[in-house]
Amino acid sequence: MRNFEFHERCKKILTPEIVMQLTRIYEFKGEQTLFIEAHKDELSELMEIAKIQSTESSNKIEGIYTSDERLKKIVLEKTMPKTRNEFEIAGYRDVLNTIHESYEHIPVRPSIILQLHRDLYKFMGTDSGGFFKTADNIIEEMSSDGERKVRFTPIPAWETSEAMDKLCESYNKAFQDDYVDKLILLPMFIFDFLCIHPFNDGNGRMSRLLTILLLYQSGFIVGKYISIEKMIEISKDTYYEALQESSIGWHEVENNYIPFVSYILGVIVNAYKEFSSRVKLLSLNGKKIDRVREIIKTKVGTITKSEIIDMCPDISVTTIQRALAELLEKGEIIKISGGRYTKYTWNWEDK
């Protein structure tokens, strides 16, 4: 049985690159705390958007889709799920809501993880979730020519319960140690969870839900306002590469956690950077056209409409199009090219 001695292995991960990432995250955390205290009311829209994006992206990684309109209604609980995909989306929504509302009262124990997994599948039937895997599983990857190959072989089903006990026990022991940085401990736990692969299905989504839970419990709540799951989705190739690199030698306790830890810390840094960018726009306290104007003016070079939409998820596409048309009419911005490749830049000649 593999052991999980986080105390000693944490000390070996403090490379200069990781120390730099940690420093940036702690700096961002301080800035976020100050802004939240001063602008609580302004952040409600960001929270709603983050929940929708998190539910969409975490399921999309696993090939679970529905239409944008249906997704939004399901996440906001304005309709009932109708298909298998929507049942899984609704389950993710409910577990995410539980974590958002009660993270301080959710201990990291195998029994609690089983309950969260049960709720992930609660719309699917009583025999779909809430128990560890009943058969050995493998983690596959598909090459560009469609060939499947085994990327990693997790521990067998009969060892899963004991492995989860040891994993949670080691995590909780290290979490109480003030000399162990929680931001290093967190991705190590998530990585080992993925290597155990304790469920027949839902391991990826559970790992992302647990990432949010552990972040909140460690005092890093950026995931409430910026979707961590979307950050992972848009960089999923790097995510899988980091998993692959860190998994070598895992069964022999000789694996290198650094690639996966560095990847997760990079995701958190980018989430804080995105939060900082969005709150600066929110703090303009002006019309939505002013936010679009500021985005284009402060962007070096050119920017596309889709990039503006990503930066302002609370502004409708129609409003952004209207803002662009108005700014063009006033001569404040310049339109470059046309069609699907249209870009915009600030008109520095006249302004």
Residue 270 lies in a domain: yes
One domain, residues 240 and 310: no
How does pLDDT run across 18-47, given as a tens digit for each residue? 999 999 999 999 988 888 877 776 688 788
The average pLDDT across 91-116 equals 97
Residues sharing a CB contact under 8 Å with residue 23, sequence separation 6 or more, in sequence order: none
Q: Which amino acid does the sequence have at 99?
A: I
One domain, residues 189 and 334: no
Q: Between the ranges 22-36, 145-159, 232-246, where is the mean pLDDT highest? A: 232-246
Residue 255 lies in a domain: yes
Residue 105 lies in a domain: yes
The average pLDDT across 264-281 equals 89
Measured from the Cβ of residue 156, the count of other Cβ atoms closer than 10 Å reads: 12
The domain of 253 spans 6-281
* pLDDT at residue 197 in the model: 96
Residue 159 lies in a domain: yes
Between helix 160-175 and helix 182-196 the angle, nearest 10°, is 180
Kind plus residue range of the DSSP H or E element containing 303: strand 303-304
* pLDDT at residue 9 in the model: 86
Counting beta carbons within 10 angstroms of the beta carbon of residue 168, is it exposed (0 to 12), middle (13 to 18) or buried (19 or more)? buried
Q: Which of 255, 281, 307 is the last residue in one of the domains?
A: 281
pLDDT at 272 over 70: yes
One domain, residues 65 and 142: yes
CATH of the domain at 329: 1.10.10.10
How does pLDDT run across 306-342, given as a tens digit for each residue? 888 877 777 888 889 888 898 988 888 888 876 767 8
How does pLDDT run across 164-203, given as a tens digit for each residue? 999 999 999 999 998 899 999 999 999 999 999 999 999 9
CATH of the domain at 57: 1.10.3290.10
* pLDDT at residue 144 in the model: 61
The CA distance from 45 to 314, in Å, is: 7
Handedness of CA 28, 34, 38, 41 (dihedral sign): positive
Residue 107 lies in a domain: yes
Q: Which of 281, 305, 328 is the last residue in one of the domains?
A: 281
pTM: 0.86
Q: Please, which pLDDT band fits residue 212 given cuts at 50, 70 and 90? A: very high
One domain, residues 270 and 298: no
Q: Which of 225, 255, 281 is the last residue in one of the domains?
A: 281
Residue 122 lies in a domain: yes
The CA distance from 346 to 131, in Å, is: 56
Measured from the Cβ of residue 90, the count of other Cβ atoms closer than 10 Å reads: 22
Counting beta carbons within 10 angstroms of the beta carbon of residue 319, is it exposed (0 to 12), middle (13 to 18) or buried (19 or more)? middle
**What is the average pLDDT value for the chain, to the nearest integer?**
90
Number of domains in the chain: 2
Which has more confidence, 277 or 257? 257
* pLDDT at residue 113 in the model: 98
The CA distance from 134 to 145, in Å, is: 32
One domain, residues 188 and 312: no
Residue 351 lies in a domain: no
One domain, residues 186 and 291: no
* pLDDT at residue 142 in the model: 64
* pLDDT at residue 139 in the model: 86
The average pLDDT across 140-144 equals 67
Q: CB of 119 within 8 A of CB of 91? A: yes
Residue 1 lies in a domain: no
* pLDDT at residue 285 in the model: 56
One domain, residues 234 and 290: no
* pLDDT at residue 37 in the model: 75
pLDDT at 58 over 90: yes
One domain, residues 240 and 299: no
pLDDT at 350 over 70: no
One domain, residues 42 and 66: yes
* pLDDT at residue 23 in the model: 95
* pLDDT at residue 314 in the model: 74
pLDDT at 162 over 70: yes
How does pLDDT run across 292-303, given as a tens digit for each residue? 888 888 877 888
One domain, residues 111 and 43: yes
* pLDDT at residue 33 in the model: 84
One domain, residues 327 and 215: no
- Name the β-bridge partners of 148: 142
Which has more confidence, 8 or 163? 163
One domain, residues 232 and 330: no
